[in-house]
Homo-oligomer: A and B are copies of this chain.
Amino acid sequence: MQTSHSTNFIELFQRTLRVRQSLLCVGLDPDLQKLPANLPRSAKGIITFCKEIIEATHDFAAAFKVNFAFFEALGKSGWAALEAVAAALPNDVIKIADAKRGDIGNTAQRYAEAIFRQLPFDAMTANPYLGEDAAQPFLDDAKKGAFFLCRTSNPGSSDIQNFPDRTRPLYLHVAAQVREWNKKGNAGLVVGATHPRELQQVRKVSPELPFLIPGVGAQGGDLETAVRVGATASGDLAIINASRTILYADSGNKFAEAAARAAEKMRNEMRAILRTTIPQSK
């Protein structure tokens, strides 16, 4: 993401969405078992696959999100592939490290160093469970952002996140806490599209925070609510992630073209929803 002087991550986030006229975040979760048949099932195959996906979908994306687990599963050659893929991300989109890190201060500092210094990411996903002093190293640099898990998209997310009850669930407390942690204009929230009612609640208590919204596509989340509620009336406060729907749109050697079509279709659907929500953005 191109940076400029005296701006913070949230301003850069909003500017990027407006310039690119897109809310789409392309999630890079390169699954060895799902690689197109013509690519080697190795770290090298993953680099080629991701680079082609990036090139094919770049025009339609506001952000790319790289899922660290799929690289770490390959050991040190996977980490080398992660570096190669991160280096291939274009500078005019938001580069997100999906690593969901969270640890005490001196350790969190090292994770921030890995993601923001060793690697060229603009933002990361983070886990709020350890509290503010553990979150702080991820928010030290105003130009770098952290999206904290709030209401996740998986089926068992209510086990912990809905504690103690529906009237005052933990995820709303987390949203309120992250709002307090947002002293430099660079904190955001991860809120799944699979829980539209909760998405509305969270938006209500954190009107100014950017959302990273997973769970559309393969996970079955509601795109319309994600766009209307997540992006807000300004249309620039949420990115909506799609991984499997785009990456594996076609399993043959036309995978990149199919990914481009899938990305364009999603971007256009998001634009259409925004247009009917906010007539002046036509």
Contacts and interface: CB of A to CB of B under 8 A. Distances in A.
A129 B163 CA distance: 11
Interface string A68-81: 01101111101110
The SS class assigned to the A binding surface is helix
Contact of A134 (B117, B156, B163): B156
Given A69-B114, A111-B69, A164 B173 contact: yes
Interface residues of A, number: 58
A208 interface: no
A94 to B, nearest CB: 20
Given A73-B114, A75-B119, A110-B69, A160 B100 contact: no
A79 to B, nearest CB: 4
A135 to B, nearest CB: 8
Interface stretch (A16-24, A146-154, A220-228): A146-154
B107 A132 contact: no
A118 interface: yes
A251 to B, nearest CB: 17
A57 interface: no
B79 A76 contact: yes
Contacts of A149: 129-130
Given A152-B104, A164-B164, A73 B131 contact: no
A182 interface: no
A170 B163 contact: yes
Contacts of A79: 75-76, 78-80
B130 A160 contact: yes
Contact of A130 (B114, B119, B157, B173): B157
B69 A29 contact: no
Given A76-B76, A102-B127, A170-B170, A133 B156 contact: yes
A105 interface: yes
Contacts of A107: 29, 67, 69-70
Interface string A85-109: 0000000000000001111111110
16 contacts: A69-B107, A72-B111, A73-B110, A73-B111, A73-B113, A73-B118, A74-B118, A75-B79, A78-B79, A79-B79, A102-B102, A102-B127, A129-B161, A130-B160, A131-B160, A132-B159
Given A69-B111, A78-B114, A164-B164, 8 more contacts: A31-B106, A76-B79, A76-B83, A100-B102, A102-B102, A129-B129, A132-B159, A163-B163
